[in-house]
Amino acid sequence: MSFSRKCFFIIFTNEHGTNGATALEQKWNRMDKYILEHLEELESEAIYIIREVMADFDNPVILFSGGKDSIVLTHLAMKAFYPMNLPFPLVHIDTGHNFPETIEFRDNLVKDMGANLIVGSVQKSIDEGKAQEESGYNASRNRMQSITLLDCLEEHKVDAAMGGARRDEEKARAKERFFSHRDDFGQWDPKNQRPELWHLFNAKMNFGEQFRVFPLSNWTELDIWQYIAKEDIPLPSLYYSHKRKCIRRGNAILAYSDYLNLKPDEKVEEIQIRFRTIGDMTITGAVESNATEIEDIVNEVATTRVTERNSRADDARSEAAMEERKKEGYF
């Protein structure tokens, strides 16, 4: 019992007697059972939103990148509809420049869950002339994902795509609602968003329009890691400390790969690293770390003062890089 509660019971006992205080304490203890911890509150909110999506839309999907947030979102969706399998598919946009560990984890997870996986190929978009490969030292396929994603959603007649984005990640993310409306071109207008009072969501839309839904909006990076520890959720090995061949480019540490165009003065070296976020190999920066266990990562995240997307080269292209991509259809 907390100190403040003890003080209250002493005063209450003096005024109403022992029997009155005992009855009140029993009632208070029963109420404690209905008080949720913060992770339970976040879990309950996310599951509620996932179920709302299933009720409001005809053909929803989960956008699955193979990163920790989309893995947690998929875990929550499994909980939301247990004991049945996922009632909607996972959609992964494969840039062709993914970490091999990510693809291996994705395939194993889908097999274990018995889920339906839809894969959109950026390489196919390039071959069809819909997207143009970038050139230069900082070339990336990340921005081209929007083209492939919109084509994939249209092909499968998706009206709601759930993603693992969080408001604490980046300022453009912070503007987003739980139910984020997209026009018939898949574009996002940050100045034209719907109010969401008391968790009442407006899912009305015209033919051809769609929604992106973000059940993890109120979570933080630390919440995600604490929940992963609590639920014992498996993750790709990339998130844990390991030695890897890397290069240093500016303030970023990038994993060496055949997709990376090296500058003349850049040298490949082996560094003890881990990744806080996972995307294309060409734009995902690592951090030097010895954290090999979840408890170590939780402590590391709790003390850091730098956002996890600080090491993403795609976000550093301009001050409003993320918002510009979202307006083009990026999730």
- HSE-up of residue 119 (Cα within 13 Å, Cβ side): 13
Which position has the higher pLDDT, 30 or 96? 96
Q: Confirm if 158 and 61 have CB atoms less than 8 A apart.
A: yes
| Banded model confidence at residue 195, pLDDT cuts 50, 70, 90 | confident
Helix (H, G, I), strand (E, B) or coil at 121: strand
Q: Confirm if 167 and 311 have CB atoms less than 8 A apart.
A: no
- The per-residue pLDDT for 28 is 55
Could you state, in order of their start, the residue ranges of all structural domains in the chain?
Answer: 1-35, 38-221+321-327, 236-311
Give the pLDDT confidence of 304-325 residue by residue, as tens digits.
Answer: 888 776 665 555 555 555 556 6
Burial of residue 1 (CB within 10 Å: 0-12, 13-18, 19+) is exposed
- The per-residue pLDDT for 112 is 93
Element (H, E) at 192: none
Q: Residues 6 or more apart from 284 whose CB is under 8 A from it?
A: 99, 254, 255, 275, 277, 278, 311, 312, 313
Asked if residue 87 has a cis previous peptide bond (ω within 30° of 0), the answer is: no
Indicate if the pLDDT at residue 7 is higher than 80.
Answer: no
Within 10 Å of residue 76's Cβ, how many Cβ atoms? Answer: 24
Q: Taking CA 158 as the corner, what is the angle to CA 70 and CA 203, rounded to the nearest 5 degrees?
A: 90
Q: Which of 47-56, 124-133, 169-178 has the highest mean pLDDT?
A: 47-56
Q: Which of 144-153, 164-173, 291-300 has the highest mean pLDDT?
A: 291-300
Query: Rounded to an integer, what distance in angstroms lies between the CA atom of residue 314 and that of residue 283?
Result: 6
- The per-residue pLDDT for 13 is 53
Q: Residues 6 or more apart from 87 whose CB is under 8 A from it?
A: 54, 81
Give the pLDDT confidence of 78-109 residue by residue, as tens digits.
Answer: 999 999 999 999 999 999 999 999 999 999 99
| Banded model confidence at residue 216, pLDDT cuts 50, 70, 90 | very high
Give the mean pLDDT of 125-137: 87
Query: Rounded to an integer, what distance in angstroms lies between the CA atom of residue 271 and that of residue 259?
Result: 19
Q: Confirm if 21 and 12 have CB atoms less than 8 A apart.
A: yes
Q: Residues 6 or more apart from 106 whose CB is under 8 A from it?
A: 64, 66, 92, 117
- The CATH superfamily of 38-221+321-327 is HUPs (3.40.50.620)
Give the pLDDT confidence of 238-281 residue by residue, as tens digits.
Answer: 999 999 999 998 888 999 998 888 888 989 999 999 999 888 88
Q: Confirm if 162 and 214 have CB atoms less than 8 A apart.
A: yes
Q: Confirm if 222 and 172 have CB atoms less than 8 A apart.
A: no
- The per-residue pLDDT for 325 is 60
Residue labelled with tokens 């190999």: 281
**Helix 221-231 vs helix 38-56: crossing angle, to nearest 10:** 90
- The per-residue pLDDT for 313 is 54
Helices (H), the chain: 3-32, 38-56, 68-80, 100-113, 122-127, 145-155, 171-174, 221-231, 294-303, 321-327
Which position has the higher pLDDT, 171 or 50? 50
Query: Rounded to an integer, what distance in angstroms lies between the CA atom of residue 115 and that of residue 189?
Result: 32
Q: Identify the bridge partners of residue 160 per DSSP, sorted by sequence position.
A: 60, 211
Indicate if the pLDDT at residue 210 is higher than 70.
Answer: yes
